Chain A
Amino acid sequence: GQNIDQPTEMTATEGAIVQINCTYQTSGFNGLFWYQQHAGEAPTFLSYNVLDGLEEKGRFSSFLSRSKGYSYLLLKELQMKDSASYLCAVRDPGGSYIPTFGRGTSLIVHP
C-alpha cells in the first residue's frame, strides 16, 4: 500500500515564502507530482520529480529525496491567487503507475 502525508492547512503572508512538505511510504517509486487545486476546480499540474534534487519553475520549486521519502513544494513571492489546495501524488510501478494522491494542503495567503 501507499501512505502519503501532508499538513492539512498552512497560512502565509503575501510576498513571503512558504514550504509545503510531503512524506510518503511506497513499495516502489516512479515519480512524485505536485498539483494546485482551487476550490471546485480541476487540479492543475505544477511539477514532476523522479530524481533527487531541486526542480525550479518560476516562483515554484519542488524538491525530492527518495532515500527519505520526502518532497517539498516551495512557493516564493506569494500572491493572493496562490491560496489553494496543493496535492502531492506518488506513482508506484506496483500500483499500475497510477499516482496516489495525498489529502492536500490548504494554503491560505493573507495580505
Chain B
Amino acid sequence: DSGVTQTPKHLITATGQRVTLRCSPRSGDLSVYWYQQSLDQGLQFLIQYYNGEERAKGNILERFSAQQFPDLHSELNLSSLELGDSALYFCASSAGLAGGRGDTQYFGPGTRLTVL
C-alpha cells in the first residue's frame, strides 16, 4: 500500500459525459501527478500540482482539467468523453518538486475508466 488513495476504482460511462476522479496523496506529500495509461500508449504524464498550484503540464487534452484543494487532495475532471479516453488513470504523489530521492513518485491504485 503506497498511501495514495484514489476513487472510484472503476467507472463506466457513455460518450459525451463528464466524470471526476479523486486522489488523496500520501501524508506529508505536497506534489500530485496525474497519468493516463492505455495499452498502446504506456504511462503518459498529464499534469502536476504542487501545494495547490499547477506546476507542469504534459499531454493533457483541453477537455481535461484538474485542481488541487487546500487539503491537498486532487481531482481530475474529464469532459465530453470519447471512446479513446478509456484507460487507467493513476495519481501519484511525492514530497516536493525539485528532484532528489525524496521526490520519488508513489502511485495510487488507479481508476479504470470505460467509455461506451
Tell me how far the C-beta of B3 lies from the nearest C-beta in chain A, rounded to whole angstroms.
11
Q: Do B107 and A104 touch across chains, with their CB atoms under 8 A apart?
A: no
Interface residue A3 (Cβ < 8 Å from any Cβ of B): no
Interface residue A11 (Cβ < 8 Å from any Cβ of B): no
Seen from chain A, the residues whose Cβ lies within 8 Å of a Cβ on chain B are 30-31, 33, 35, 40-45, 48, 50, 87, 91, 93, 95-104
Count B-side interface residues using an 8 Å CB cutoff.
26
Which residues of B sit under 8 angstroms from A45, Cβ to Cβ? 104-106
Q: Do B112 and A43 touch across chains, with their CB atoms under 8 A apart?
A: no
Seen from chain B, the residues whose Cβ lies within 8 Å of a Cβ on chain A are 2, 4, 33, 42-43, 45, 48, 55-56, 58, 88, 90, 97-101, 103-110, 112
Which 7 residue pairs across A and B have the least CB separation, nearest first? A96-B56, A42-B107, A101-B43, A103-B42, A30-B99, A97-B99, A43-B107
